[in-house]
Structure 1
Amino acid sequence: MEKFLKRFFGFSLGPVLGALISFVQVPVLTYFLTVDEYGLAGAFQTLLVQIPNFIYIGLDQAYTREYHRFKDKRYLAQQAMLVPMLAGVLLFVCFIVFDEQLSLWLFDSPHYQYIAWYAGVWVLATVIERFMLLTIRMEERAFEYSLFNLTLKLGVFLFSMLCIAAGMRDFRVIVYGLIFGQLLVDLILFWRYRYLLKYDHFRVDQTLIQGMLKFGVPVMVAASLTSVLNSVDMLFLTEFSTPVDRGIYSVAFKISSVIGILKTAFASFWTPTAYRWHEEGKSLNHYKFISDALLMLLTAVFFALLLVKKPIGWILDLAYDEVMYGEVIYIVGLLCLPHIMYTLSETTTLGIVFSRKTHYNIVVSILALLPSLILNYILTPTWGYRGAALASAVAYIIFYFARTLFSRSTGFYFQQKKQVVVTLLMFLAAFINAFKVEYIEWITLGFTIMAFVCQLSTFKDIASIRNNSDEWDFS
């Protein structure tokens, strides 16, 4: 268990410290750049960082699935990289051909076409970077993985500061920071893992690539649908509500991202561990205990945020001129639930990836997206930010149970009574906290106690594992 926790801590460092850098970077850049310039850079940045997710075609996920089946990791990585690199080259050519149009569209001027060229190079480098980082991750080099992820964020920030020091005060500060800050760090990564780029005796393995595409394409489609799911609430708020509601919702979303950091850290650590355990034939009890322990941790963070929501409101009142930002505290609990349910589902959905039946993920995303659309349409026009938050929470609860049930159909399943009851308690607590209710702190404390009473068996399991450590191998 000590090695297990050490790896988790190692993988957590990158997301936590990276979030800290992002927290510092935003106010610094907004101090030096006007809103218009920041908006131009933001549009470019949003577009560019989404591109690799599509040109991977899910082959990055297929690479992690096949990793432990191949002794020759270079061979597997090169087969997985081939199609994304070809897609990247094609995209690069398109950037060159339509550089002036892209410049005019993104920056309202045809004179920045060279940025389209830089962006093409960035995309190609990102493909290589992705598979090298996945190699580090699958080898479970936790601290090295966190170090490179942290260095990438730091490189982007420092290069932006260098541009500011050079006297630049327009959107190029962010654009150059994103492109060249990352490329400089990538050069270090490419040199360290240059063996993955040695193409001597390379040949195309069509059977392997087709098998990985069969696994990866549904993952990409499901991820695209999940991206839509994550955007629906803000789209409905934009269409049916007020700017105040959007502002309250955005700030509450940032606060709930505290759990989002935990989600990223756990996913980085859990995927390579779970795949390795599967190859080693670990018993289902190991996965069940991790799921139960994760539930307990998430429960603690969730109710802690609810119980300190008033101090959060006081801080927001001091930080923002608008008194309405104090309303943020009412929906923090509801917006924590999507992060919690997604993170918890990572421990119950493993049957889908183990069995390679990734088409189930598309159905899962649709089953979550449809209720989100319906509830947002019904609730957002009347309840505003509360309605959007409620719709998001319900959608992700459905997402969790859909993932769990489809995984069960593949044979991977453990008892969910505890998870069902605790999820219900958290949802009720979040819903009640969304409104002004007298003695809400005492009511929330009551829900907290009930949630932990339901998890007494987890405390007993922890004690049993400590007393019988020889029977449990979490390495």
Structure 2
Amino acid sequence: MRTVLQFSIGPIGAAILSLITLPFVAWFFSVEDVGRLTMLQVVLGLTVSLFSLAMHQAYVREYHEEEDKPALLKLSIIPGLILLVLISLLTLVLPFSISTILFGIDSKLLTFLLFVGIFASFFINFLAHVIRMQERGLAFSATKLAPKILLLILISLIMLLNLTAEFKVLMLMNTLSVVFSLFIFAWVTRESWVKAITKSIDTILLTKMLRFSLPLVAGGIAYWGLTTMDRFFLRELSGFEELGVYALAAALAGAVSVLTSIFSSLWHPILYKWAKKSVDENKVQSVIENMVLLVALIWSLAGLFSFIIPFFLPPEYLAIEYLIVACVSMPLFYLLSETTGVGIGVTRLSNYSMLASICALLVNAVLNYLFIPTYGASGAALASVVAFFVFFIIKTEASSRIWCSLPRWKIYITCIAYTLATILMVITKATIVNYYLIWLVLLTSTCFLFFTRLKKSANFLKCYFKKRY
């Protein structure tokens, strides 16, 4: 429990700071600039997914199997770094402006800041996994909090110094916060990466890691596309204004992704420790059922209290009331799939993760193309909800077939019911009278379906706190 709390402080605090920062951005910058900021975040996410070659996942998978951790870190970074440098040099000689393509603004400064952010994000991705695998919860939390505090301070300077609220200023602030974050990660992990520099390259281990990671690259890019494709479709089919509204809803819902960050930081190391000794299926089933209850609770709370959010935002963001519930469902489906799809990691059959991402990506592409011209941001939300449901189903079924077939019909009933309720809310724009009753009924029904697990978990927590206090 202490480890959970230490790992939770940073992500939860960072989410709270983000929720404070986002209204600042919405009030001081135009909707179009919020849309451009989204394109920046999309590109940074792509570079991590593509150029890391998923070697950070291979690092996590082999961490408990290898004695020389610094050498393992070097092997995980080198292939992607070489690729990133080569592609960056190639990009510099291209005859067109990258900033124009991404942001609609021709600016060498924006292009420079973009590349700085890309390289910083690349290294942060690996160093974060070093801290995670060393189970240094407080250090992990510190690295999450510090850059968010800096970003909030920088944005506050707009008011104090009467700076022009334009996208170049917003881009500079974000780049500075990312670079500051890298410095913190580098300092906290200095013992690991300094030793890694002088380590020799074990080609046999490198080949083993690449065999595990490369299938995940396609899956990682497909997952990136799954989570960001709607932004590209909105920009092309609806413009930066619709993109800005949808992006802010997704950013606010991103606070839920904190749970994914915390859970992944704890779950994968624990799971692979279990795998080394032989996994207890009952333990996994208990984790899955507890996760279903948590997902149902968060989803219901989002539906019940979404009407509050527009009060803190400019009038042009009213649609967030119903969009945010759809956006919240996406990280929740991913969070749940991390438990129901455990067999993929245990068996090292990472092709199935790639299959789930690609199938969901195709569903998302088709539905975005069909829905966005008519429904705008609502169409993007509907497409993403359905696509993430497909992603969750495929990972769950794949795990059941290649590893262990755990009971799941109650899980499917719950997820289908919540998905349909969310789709109805988006289509009706939350105008149904007493709509909150639907969320209360769904939460009550889920607790009834998983009553045995709910009772066991409640008794466990009661005994735990009685021993502690």
Q: Deviations over 1:261-291 (max 9, x none)?
A: 3233322332223223322434122221111
Residue of structure 2 aligned with 1:297, choices 294, 297, 320: 294
State the secondary structure of the residue aligned to 1:297. Answer: helix
In structure 1, the partner of 2:268 is 271
The amino acid that maps onto 2:425 is N
Cα gap change, 1:282 to 1:14, in 2 (>3 Å): same
The alpha-carbon deviation at position 122 of structure 1 amounts to 5.7
Q: Equivalent residues in 2 for 1:148-163 (5 A)?
A: 148-158=143-153
State the distance in 2 between where 1:268 and 1:122 align.
Answer: 23
Q: Deviations over 1:362-418 (max 9, x none)?
A: 211122223333444444455555444333222211111100111122214421122
The alpha-carbon deviation at position 245 of structure 1 amounts to 6.3
- Structure 2 gap ranges (5+): 465-469
Q: 2:253–2:324: 8 Å Cα contact kept in structure 1?
A: yes
State the secondary structure of the residue aligned to 1:69. Answer: coil
Cα gap change, 1:168 to 1:42, in 2 (>3 Å): farther
The alpha-carbon deviation at position 253 of structure 1 amounts to 3.4
Residue of structure 2 aligned with 1:359, choices 351, 356, 378: 351
Matching of residue 205 in structure 1 with residue 202 in structure 2: yes
In structure 2, the partner of 1:392 is 384
The amino acid that maps onto 1:51 is T
Q: 1:16–1:261: 8 Å Cα contact kept in structure 2?
A: yes
Moved more, 25-34 or 455-464: 25-34
Matching of residue 75 in structure 1 with residue 71 in structure 2: yes
In structure 2, the partner of 1:456 is 451
In structure 2, the partner of 1:23 is 19
The alpha-carbon deviation at position 77 of structure 1 amounts to 0.8
Moved more, 158-167 or 346-355: 158-167
State the distance in 2 between where 1:142 and 1:465 align.
Answer: 23
The amino acid that maps onto 2:299 is F
State the distance in 2 between where 1:100 and 1:223 align.
Answer: 27
State the secondary structure of the residue aligned to 1:415. Answer: coil
State the secondary structure of the residue aligned to 2:432. Answer: coil
Q: 1:345–1:400: 8 Å Cα contact kept in structure 2?
A: yes
In structure 2, the partner of 1:336 is 328
Q: Deviations over 1:130-188 (max 9, x none)?
A: 32221110122222111112223334554676799788646554444444444445345
Q: Equivalent residues in 2 for 1:145-224 (5 A)?
A: 145-158=140-153, 169=164, 173-195=169-191, 196-198=193-195, 202-224=199-221
- Structure 1 gap ranges (5+): 470-475
Q: 1:159–1:176: 8 Å Cα contact kept in structure 2?
A: no
In structure 1, the partner of 2:254 is 257
In structure 1, the partner of 2:284 is 287
State the distance in 1 between where 2:204 and 2:278 align.
Answer: 26
Q: 1:380–1:386: 8 Å Cα contact kept in structure 2?
A: yes
State the distance in 1 between where 2:293 and 2:121 align.
Answer: 36
Cα gap change, 1:333 to 1:122, in 2 (>3 Å): closer
In structure 2, the partner of 1:472 is none
The amino acid that maps onto 1:426 is Y
* CA root-mean-square deviation: 3.8
- Find the structure with the greater CA-based Rg: 1
Moved more, 334-343 or 434-443: 434-443
State the distance in 2 between where 1:218 and 1:452 align.
Answer: 38
The amino acid that maps onto 1:21 is L
Matching of residue 437 in structure 1 with residue 432 in structure 2: yes
In structure 2, the partner of 1:231 is 228
Matching of residue 410 in structure 1 with residue 402 in structure 2: yes
In structure 2, the partner of 1:426 is 418
Q: Equivalent residues in 2 for 1:299-318 (5 A)?
A: 299-309=296-306, 311-312=307-308, 316=310
Q: 1:139–1:272: 8 Å Cα contact kept in structure 2?
A: no
Cα gap change, 1:97 to 1:161, in 2 (>3 Å): farther
The alpha-carbon deviation at position 75 of structure 1 amounts to 1.4
State the distance in 2 between where 1:318 and 1:26 align.
Answer: 10
In structure 1, the partner of 2:135 is 140
State the distance in 2 between where 1:404 and 1:219 align.
Answer: 17
TM-score between the two structures when normalised by the length of structure 2: 0.82
TM-score between the two structures when normalised by the length of structure 1: 0.81
State the distance in 1 between where 2:173 and 2:190 align.
Answer: 24
Q: How many pairs align?
A: 458
The alpha-carbon deviation at position 216 of structure 1 amounts to 1.3
State the secondary structure of the residue aligned to 2:326. Answer: helix
Identity of aligned residues (%): 25
State the distance in 1 between where 2:357 and 2:340 align.
Answer: 15
The amino acid that maps onto 1:350 is V
State the distance in 1 between where 2:190 and 2:240 align.
Answer: 50
